[in-house]
Structure 1
Amino acid sequence: MKNHHLQAVIDVETTGLFPGYGDRVVEVAAVLVEEGQIVSEFSSLIRVTRAIPRHVSMIHGITNDMLADQPLPEEVYPALGDFIGRALLVAHNARFDLAFLRHEFGRLGLSLNSRSACTLELARRRLPELPDHRLETIYQHLFGAVPDGTRCHRALDDARLTARVWGELRGGASIS
């Protein structure tokens, strides 16, 4: 998929806030969007040596036990890199997600596409009236309730929500 109009909407869940201090990605997801449609999805939990603190696990629901039989970073990131290719990377709070992904890719001697866009920054410019700019708040403002069964703060569901927000904030391009 080498189309320059392709977007890879990504999300990560982590053990904490600071990749430079040892925090790691424990779940990564990406959805490829082309011409307003999600055309493919990638999602994986990742077995890392850094334990997930209890207070962090309470946010995303991922436990250390859930990671025991999952693939290692050296299995996940090359596959993710192949999946996203040269697509424009889109994330909600891209600075956070991309800092973690660049750190993880760098640990393996891999590089990550540097072209990116941030739905958080875009929403702050386009929707300054919102009380906050959390992904759920923006989604509810634009579309109503978050779809039933959506697990906010899980990477694949957040990537799907971000893809819809991205399409709408860019001018009403419906993403399904």
Structure 2
Amino acid sequence: MLSLKRYIVCDVETSGLSPKHGGRVIEIGAVACEEGQIVEEFGTLINVDCSIHWAAERVHGISRRMLAGMPEPEEVWRAFQVFIGGCPVVAHNATFDAAFLRHEMTMLGMHMNNRFFCSLALSRKCLPHLPNHRLATVAQHILGALPPTIRLHRALDDARLAAKIWMALDR
């Protein structure tokens, strides 16, 4: 399998399904991993001036009111760029997360050339017998049960779960 010395596992919660249709990242969560351990965390809601599609809000529970007073996009994305550096990035459904992350960075004249790896694809390869490969399903299979403090569909908690999946399967 792929041996990464240091890598970032991230997750985004968004206002819609696609950046091509006006969707924006409203929450970012990321963890830095080294030697099978989470060594650093980065997470915040983002004060983006956009509407949140009702279906997206129903999934993650993030409302416009929750974004008020949170850091502005430029502050968040500059700090995130420092956090990830040139490290490879892992995400559960990396195509989705990468599209949103690159869109947000591009809007600010920033670039994200990090290589992406997908824990969803890895779980499909390693665990083909599962009924589905949603983050919660795969995490429950690997961990036995979800930790009681985990809030599914919140970016930092989902990043933590995706990291545990990656660490378990990338051996």
TM-score by length of 2: 0.96
Task: Please name the residue that 2:78 is paired with.
Answer: 78
Q: CA deviation at 1:113?
A: 2.9
- Are residue 157 (structure 1) and residue 157 (structure 2) matched? yes
* Contact map agreement 2:29 2:159 (CA 8 A) in 1: yes
Task: Please name the residue that 1:64 is paired with.
Answer: 64
Could you tell me how far apart the structure 1 residues matched to 2:127 and 2:61 are? 29
Q: Which amino acid aligns with 2:134?
A: R
Unmatched segments (≥5 aa) in structure 2: none
In the TM superposition, what are the counterparts of 1:9-24 in structure 2 within 5 Å? 9-24=9-24
Q: CA deviation at 1:114?
A: 2.9
Q: Which amino acid aligns with 2:121?
A: E
* Contact map agreement 1:8 1:30 (CA 8 A) in 2: yes
Q: Which amino acid aligns with 2:32?
A: L
Unmatched segments (≥5 aa) in structure 1: 172-176
Could you tell me how far apart the structure 2 residues matched to 1:55 and 1:124 are? 26
TM-score by length of 1: 0.93
Q: Which runs of 4+ in 1 moved over 3 A?
A: none
Number of matched pairs:
168
Could you tell me how far apart the structure 2 residues matched to 1:151 and 1:113 are? 30
- Are residue 87 (structure 1) and residue 87 (structure 2) matched? yes
Aligned to 2:23, the other structure's residue is in SS state coil
Task: Please name the residue that 1:146 is paired with.
Answer: 146
* Contact map agreement 1:5 1:87 (CA 8 A) in 2: no
RMSD: 0.9
1:82-122 alpha-carbon deviations (Å, 9 max, x no partner): 00101110000000001000000000010113311100001
Q: CA deviation at 1:53?
A: 2.2
Q: Which amino acid aligns with 1:76?
A: V
Sequence identity percentage: 52
* Contact map agreement 2:29 2:44 (CA 8 A) in 1: yes
Could you tell me how far apart the structure 2 residues matched to 1:96 and 1:53 are? 17
* Contact map agreement 2:87 2:114 (CA 8 A) in 1: no
